[in-house]
Structure 1
Amino acid sequence: MANLEDWIIEQGLRGSDVGSLLSGFTERLEAEGVPLARAYVALPTVNPTIRVYTHVWTRSAGLMVEGVSHERNDLAFDRSPFNYMMQTEQTSCHWRVDDPEARQFDAFEDVRREGGTDYLARLFSFENAGAPGLRGIGISFSSARPEGLRPEEVARIDALLPLLSLAAYRMTVFDLTVAMLDTYVGLSAGRRVLSGEIRRGFGTTITAALLFADLRGFTTLADTAGMDLIARLDRHLEAMADPVAEEGGEVLKFMGDGVLAAFPITEERSREQACAAAIRAAQVALERNAETNRRHAGETPLSLDIALHCGDVFYGNIGAAGRLDFTVIGPAVNEVSRMEALCNSLDCSVILSESVASVSPVPVRSLGRHRLRGIAAERELFTFASVSVWTA
C-alpha cells in the first residue's frame, strides 16, 4: 500500500473534491494509529452565493459539507478558534477542549459532543495576488484519546499538512473554474470550454427552441430610478431564468433587462419536447414575474414579453482574439428577437412562431401574418389561447 504522502500527491493530481480528500486522509491517519474524533477543513471561495465551504468529518457521522452564504451573518465565526488565530496573527494553535480558555470558542462544544479532547488548528495562506479571494485554508484535528494528540502525532500531521493544503488548493481552483464558467457562460457552454472548444470561430450548428424574454418599461424606469432598482431587476431576471433551468434549458445571455435561452434538440429530447419545455418555462416565467410585481406593490409594474421560436443556430466562440463569447447566432436568433419586439404593438405578452405553435402542448390561436424587421417574408404568429391581452 502506498504511503500517505504518495496518496495525497495522487489525490492532488487526480482527485475531484475536498470532502473525499479529507475523509481519505483521516481514515489513513487512523490506520497509522492516530485516533481521531473530528477533522475540519474550511476553504473560502469566489462564488456569487457562497463565501466559504466547510468540510467536517466525524467518526460518528462521516463527512458533512456546507456552503456558507454571503448573506449569512455568521456570529459563530467571530467566536471561532480560526478568527482568534487571525486576530492574534497565529498560524498554529493546540488547545485542550476542557481548558478554561477554551470556553470562549463555541466550536469546542461540537468537538466535545463527538468525543474529542483537544483541538489542533493550523492556518495556511495562499499567497496569490491574482486570486485574493482564495486567501488560504483552515484545518483542525481532534483526538479521541483522553490525553489528546501526542507530540509525535502532531509532528506527523504537521509534516503532511502542506501536501494536503496543496491538494485541496488544486481541487478548489478547479471547482472555482467550473463554477465561474457555469455562472458566467452557462452550464453547457462552460463544459464545452473546459473540453477544449476555445478557438475563435469554432463551434457547431444545433437546432434548438429559443426563448427571448424582455421586461417592458424597464428602460424608462431605469432613467428615473436609483440603484435600488438593481436588486429588483435581479428578482425579475430570476423569474425568467429559473424556469429555463428547471425545464432543462440554458440561459445563454442576460442582455440588460432581458434573457436569451435555448432548449437544444438532441437524441434524448425531440423537437416536440424541446418546444414544450420552452413553453412551460415561458408560462412559469410569466407567473413568477407577476408575483415579483405583486411583491413590489406601489411601484411601477414591470411586464414581461416573451417570444418562442425554433430553428438552427451556430453555437460556439465568437468575438475578438482576446475576448470571446460562447453564444448562439443565426437567423433564428434574429427572428425570435424581432418577434419579441412585436409584443407591445400586438398587446400580447407571449408570441410563438409557427415552428413552436405547431407542436404546442397547450392550445394556441393565430395573431395573423406579420412582417418582422429585416425579414422579407411575412410570418404567421401565434399566442396561447388563454392570452387575450397583455399579462404582467
Structure 2
Amino acid sequence: MDASRLRELTDWLIDGGRSATSPTRFMAECCERMVAAGLPLWRVGVFVRTLHPEIYGRNFIWKPGAEVEIGTVDYNILESPVFHNSPLIIVFRQGLEVRARVDDPASKRFPIIEDLRAEGVTDYVALPLPFIGGTVNASSWTTKQPGGFTEEQLAALRSLAKPLARVVEILSLNRMAASLLDTYVGNGAGERIMGGQIRRGHTETMNAAIWLSDLRGFTALSDRLPAETVVDILNQYFDCQVAAIKKHGGDVLKYMGDGLLAVFPIDEYVGDEKQVCSNVLEAAHESRTSVADMQYPIGDAVERFRFGVALHVGRILYGNIGGGNRLDFTCIGPAVNLAARLEKIASQTRRTIVASEGFAGICRGGWSDLGEFPVAGFAKAARVYGLADETSAA
C-alpha cells in the first residue's frame, strides 16, 4: 500500500473533502483515492439514518467504473427479514465491526454472503461510522482480492473510517436540516432559510397563484369523532391535495386546522402566468377527484368528504414574520386575504372550486360567472367564478 497516498487521503477527509461538489461526488472520489492508495475495493456502501417522516435511511453504493447509486429505505425495513439477517444490524445496534469471509463457514449466517460469492467477492467487512451525537451509522467494504483483505488493509480501512465518519456526519446534518425545513415550511421556504434568509423582516415580494382550501363540515366532524380519528382523517385529506400541488409546481406553506395555504410562484421575466394558472387548475381538478373518492369507515358507516378551494393570483409578501426569535416563514398581503374571503364564498355557494376574476381571466375557459359578492375588509365587491361543470346548490 502507498503510505503517502493514505496520508493525503486522511488529510483530504479531515479537510472535509472540499474538492467534491456533492455527496455522490464525495463518495466516488473518496473510494477512487482509496483504490489509488492500494486498497483493493470492489463494492463500498455507506448507510445513514435520517430524520424524516417517511424515510428511515439512505444508502450510497460505489463500484469501480460506475456511477454512485443512491437509494432510500422506508420504516418497513425495520420489520424486514433481510435487514434482521444483515451484518449491518449488528453495526447499527451494537456499534461493532463485522467481518465475513466468504470461505468462512460462520459467515453463512448472513444470507448476503452467498450473493457476494456469486459476484466473485472474497471478503466483506462492515464498519461503524459513529457520529458525535451518539448515533451509529454503517459502512460496508468488499474485495475480490484472493484471500480477502490483509491485516494491513483492514487497519487502513479502520483508520480511514474515523475521518470518513466526520465528513459523512456533516453531509448528513446538512441534508437533515434541509429535509426538516422542507417538511415543516415547504421546499421554497426551506431553500431560502438555508440560504441565510433567517432574520425577522427578511422578506421579498413575488407574484404567485394562491391556493386556499378547507374541509367542509370540519367543526361538526371534530365534535362527534375522537381526536385521534380526526387527525387520521386530516392526514388522508391533506394527502389528497399535497401530491397534486407538488406535482404541479406548488409549495405548501401552512396547515391551519383543516385549512391549507399553498403558492405557485410565477416568473415575471419568463411570463409564465398562464401556464402556472393552468397547472394550479389541474391540481385542483385532481384534488377534487381524490377528496371525492376518499372514504373513511367509522363503525358500520362510511364517511365521505367534500372540500372547497379558492384560487387567486397576485403579489404577496413572502418571508420571516413573528416575535423575537420565534419566526414563521409565510406569506401575507391583500391577495392572500382575498383568497381567504373567496374560500368562504365557495362554502356559501356550495362550490368546490372558485376563482377570482384575475385568475379566471388568465386561465380562461370552463368558468361560470357567479356574480359579485361583498368582501369583508375590501372596499369593492369581488366578482367570483365557479367551474362550469359544477352546479350551485345554494
TM-score with structure 1 setting the length: 0.91
Residue from 38, 49, 72 that aligns with 1:33: 38
| Deviation per residue, 1:12-65 (Å, 9 max, x gap) | 456454443332222222222222222121111101111111222234865322
The answer for the alignment partner of 2:231 in structure 1 is: 230
The answer for the alignment partner of 1:249 in structure 2 is: 250
The answer for the alignment partner of 1:287 in structure 2 is: 289
Distance, in Å, in 1 between the alignment partners of 2:232 and 2:20 is 38
The answer for the alignment partner of 1:317 in structure 2 is: 320
Cα distance change on mapping 1:277 and 1:86 into 2, 3 Å: closer
Distance, in Å, in 2 between the alignment partners of 1:219 and 1:154 is 64
Distance, in Å, in 1 between the alignment partners of 2:147 and 2:197 is 56
Distance, in Å, in 2 between the alignment partners of 1:188 and 1:270 is 18
Aligned pairs for 1:88-127 within 5 A: 89=94, 91-127=96-132
| Superposed displacement of residue 84, structure 1 | 3.3
Distance, in Å, in 2 between the alignment partners of 1:174 and 1:43 is 13
What number of residue pairs does the alignment pair up?
384
Distance, in Å, in 2 between the alignment partners of 1:121 and 1:225 is 50
The answer for the alignment partner of 1:197 in structure 2 is: 197
Distance, in Å, in 1 between the alignment partners of 2:67 and 2:372 is 64
The one-letter amino acid paired with 1:84 is I
Look up the SS of the partner of 1:36 in the other structure: coil
| Superposed displacement of residue 179, structure 1 | 1.2
| Deviation per residue, 1:118-140 (Å, 9 max, x gap) | 12221132242xxx6xx122112
Look up the SS of the partner of 1:342 in the other structure: helix
Aligned pairs for 1:118-267 within 5 A: 118-128=123-133, 135-226=135-226, 227-266=228-267, 267=269
Report the more deviating stretch, 223-232 or 344-353.
223-232
| Deviation per residue, 1:91-111 (Å, 9 max, x gap) | 223221221211111222232
| Superposed displacement of residue 156, structure 1 | 1.4
Cα distance change on mapping 1:289 and 1:255 into 2, 3 Å: same
Aligned pairs for 1:35-50 within 5 A: 35-50=40-55
Residue from 342, 345, 348 that aligns with 2:348: 345
TM-score with structure 2 setting the length: 0.90
- Check the 8 A contact 1:17/1:171 in 2, yes or no: no
Distance, in Å, in 2 between the alignment partners of 1:280 and 1:362 is 13
Look up the SS of the partner of 1:54 in the other structure: strand
The answer for the alignment partner of 1:378 in structure 2 is: 381
The one-letter amino acid paired with 1:143 is T
- Check the 8 A contact 1:312/1:332 in 2, yes or no: yes
Distance, in Å, in 1 between the alignment partners of 2:310 and 2:287 is 12
| Superposed displacement of residue 10, structure 1 | 4.5
Residue from 15, 29, 40 that aligns with 1:24: 29
Distance, in Å, in 1 between the alignment partners of 2:12 and 2:118 is 31
- Check the 8 A contact 2:92/2:137 in 1, yes or no: no
Look up the SS of the partner of 1:152 in the other structure: helix
Residue from 331, 335, 342 that aligns with 2:334: 331
The answer for the alignment partner of 2:391 in structure 1 is: 388
Look up the SS of the partner of 1:299 in the other structure: strand
- Check the 8 A contact 1:18/1:172 in 2, yes or no: no
The one-letter amino acid paired with 1:311 is G
| Superposed displacement of residue 291, structure 1 | 2.0
Cα distance change on mapping 1:21 and 1:111 into 2, 3 Å: farther
Distance, in Å, in 2 between the alignment partners of 1:241 and 1:259 is 9
- For structure 1, the 5+ residue unaligned runs are none
Cα distance change on mapping 1:110 and 1:310 into 2, 3 Å: same
Report the more deviating stretch, 351-360 or 222-231.
222-231
Look up the SS of the partner of 1:263 in the other structure: strand
The answer for the alignment partner of 2:87 in structure 1 is: 81
| Superposed displacement of residue 369, structure 1 | 0.9
- Check the 8 A contact 1:21/1:168 in 2, yes or no: no
| Superposed displacement of residue 331, structure 1 | 1.2
Distance, in Å, in 2 between the alignment partners of 1:208 and 1:85 is 49
Report the more deviating stretch, 262-271 or 321-330.
262-271
The one-letter amino acid paired with 1:378 is A
- Check the 8 A contact 1:44/1:53 in 2, yes or no: yes
Look up the SS of the partner of 1:251 in the other structure: strand
| Superposed displacement of residue 81, structure 1 | 1.3
Cα distance change on mapping 1:31 and 1:13 into 2, 3 Å: closer
The one-letter amino acid paired with 1:74 is S
Report the more deviating stretch, 352-361 or 60-69.
60-69
Report the more deviating stretch, 76-85 or 138-147.
76-85
Cα distance change on mapping 1:300 and 1:366 into 2, 3 Å: same
Distance, in Å, in 2 between the alignment partners of 1:348 and 1:44 is 45
Look up the SS of the partner of 1:343 in the other structure: helix
- Check the 8 A contact 1:12/1:168 in 2, yes or no: no
- Check the 8 A contact 1:12/1:171 in 2, yes or no: no
- For structure 2, the 5+ residue unaligned runs are none
Cα distance change on mapping 1:31 and 1:15 into 2, 3 Å: closer
